[in-house]
Amino acid sequence: ESTGVSPVLKARGLSGKVDRRALQQIGASNQSRPDLAQAFVAPGTLAERILADIWKEALKVGQVGIHDNFFDLGGDSLLVLNVVSRARQAGLTLTPAQVFQHQTISELAAMDGVIAVQAEQGLITGPVPLTVDQHWLLNRGMLDLHWADMITLFEVLQPVDPDLLAQAFKHILCHHDGLRLRFIQDEVGWRQVITEPDDVIPLQIVNFSDVTDAELPDELIRLSDQVKRSFNLTEGPLISLVLIRCGPGRPEYLLYTIHHLLVDGVSSRIVFEDFLTAYWQLVHKQAVQLPPKTTSLKVWAERLHAYAKTEALRQEVDYWLSLPWERAARFPIDNPDGLEQNIQGSFQVVQGCLDFDETRFLVEDLPRRYRIPTVDAVLMALSHAIMKWTGGEWLAAKMIDSGRSAIPDISDVDLSRTVGWLSYTRLLAMRPEEDSDPLEALRLFSERLQQIPNHGLDYELLLRCSDDRDVAGRLAALPQPEFWINYG
């Protein structure tokens, strides 16, 4: 996806994900205030006006009152990070936890003693506990970890200076400590450390002048594969930038590759936006000045592991063990007695499309009028379809989450600009509700989802980070969920 930070680049290729810009046009087309129960009250103080402008831009609505609820307007956890980041740039110190706790502009602007998270701004080095998804990937026993890379190809819209690109890249590697991670495997297992910055800048220039337009797609694929296989988990680098020159009169390209062990989707965008910011500051002969760091990856990983060992978390084990796993939906396969015969080439993709009114109902009406998150409707429809397909009584599914709100009720951590693989999957136990009224069935389904301990975020923590072999062993012995959901 294009970051939208600079007119120099545009993304090439298709990600296969939902076009959020198209969905946002539904809200953007309505320049008036959404239909909410409470009366509109205009922002008065400077802080209220700043927050209202940020909310309007982030939520794509024309008018926001100070008593409007952020989540009723269509906000979600990822938009919370967006709002917090923009607020900090505007001089307001907020944390994601504060937005979740105080969900209106009036409440946020009236807070006394706002907690300013004191994040270390200098270089951070040394050992860092593995995050949840790092545990998952490194301990799968795979021989080839190069597939877990995030690759974006940009078309360069105007000439760029390679020397300034390299300088900007060096600033990014110093600013974001998580980009300097290295991974070591020994008799104990996998571990990671943040290294000091070095003088090797992972930027290269490739000349494709002799490559024809017809040959270019295959050559780009070959180049991206070559870059991935040059990554060395122990020695580095695990991030790369390639400037591809195709000769006079033809566009240039920028191939941006980063190993998934270093970033999630949110982090990758932060890194590239900061890279473009640093580059433009250098182009205009300005000192590179990036937004302040938020809570470090090292601190967050340590807090996450400490939380995984708490007694409160251990009390959730019985919930997961008591689920009727023997009646859960199982993924139908063509050859149950010959697993190696169930190959990707035999998959079939089925797609459907909602019309404008149906989409508007899901995106706008459900969260604003009925206070039911859009995602809950998607999950109920999905679980209905899978129950009908498999004959199971309920669905255990893993859903990818940002992971930045994994520890509940914390106010001294700000991860809005923290770079690392912080996302991980939450385990959802879902059973469609039967009711003659579809909205009532959806309301009951949504309520049942809310009853899952900590929204299902703690299952993976208990399994991978608790250091309790008995707990981890009992959870690992359960049938592992076969359905994965990437919503967003």
Instruction: Give SS3 for 346.
Output: helix
Strands 239-245 and 203-207: parallel
Alpha-carbon distances of 333 from 340, 351, 365, 372, 398, rounded to whole Å: 11, 20, 38, 34, 19
**Token representation of residue 112:** 């006394």
Neighbours of 139 (CB within 10 A): 12
Q: Among all chains, which residue has been given the structure tokens 């206070």? A: 371
pLDDT in the model for residue 118: 66
DSSP lists the bridge partners of residue 242 as: 204, 255
Q: How far apart are CA 216 and CA 486, in angstroms?
A: 31
Q: Which residues of 384-414 are buried (b: 16+ CB within 10 A; e: fewer)?
A: bebbeebebebbbbbbbbbbbbbbeebeebb
Neighbours of 178 (CB within 10 A): 25
Q: What is the pLDDT along the chain (488 residues), one digit of tens a residue?
A: 333 334 555 555 433 344 444 434 444 444 455 666 677 888 877 778 888 888 888 888 888 888 888 888 878 777 887 888 778 777 677 777 778 778 888 888 777 544 455 678 888 889 999 998 899 888 877 667 767 788 888 888 888 899 999 999 999 999 999 999 999 998 888 999 999 988 777 889 999 999 999 999 999 999 998 998 888 899 888 999 999 999 898 989 999 999 999 998 889 888 988 999 999 999 999 999 988 888 899 999 999 999 888 888 888 899 999 999 999 998 887 777 776 777 777 777 888 888 888 888 888 788 877 888 888 998 999 999 998 888 888 999 999 887 787 787 676 777 888 999 998 888 999 988 777 788 888 999 999 998 898 888 889 889 888 888 888 889 989 988 888 888 76
Contacts of 260 (CB under 8 A, 6+ apart): 137, 148, 149, 150, 421
User: If you ran DSSP here, which 8-state letter would residue 432 be given?
Assistant: P
Burial class of 171 by CB neighbour count within 10 A (0 to 12, 13 to 18, 19+): buried
Strands 483-485 and 395-401: parallel
The alpha helices in 189-310, defined as continuous H runs, are 216-230, 265-283, 297-308
Q: What is the largest distance, in Å, between two alpha-carbon atoms of the chain?
A: 68
Query: Among 381, 363, 382, which Cα is nearest to 373's?
Result: 363
Contacts of 360 (CB under 8 A, 6+ apart): 26
The pTM assigned to this predicted structure is 0.75
Instruction: Give SS3 for 480.
Output: coil
Contacts of 126 (CB under 8 A, 6+ apart): 193, 194, 298
Q: What are phi and psi of 401, to 5 degrees?
A: -125, 155
Alpha-carbon distances of 196 from 32, 296, 371, 419, rounded to whole Å: 51, 15, 48, 16
Q: Which uninterrupted H or E stretch holds 430?
A: strand 424-430
Alpha-carbon torsion (57, 59, 62, 68), positive or negative: negative
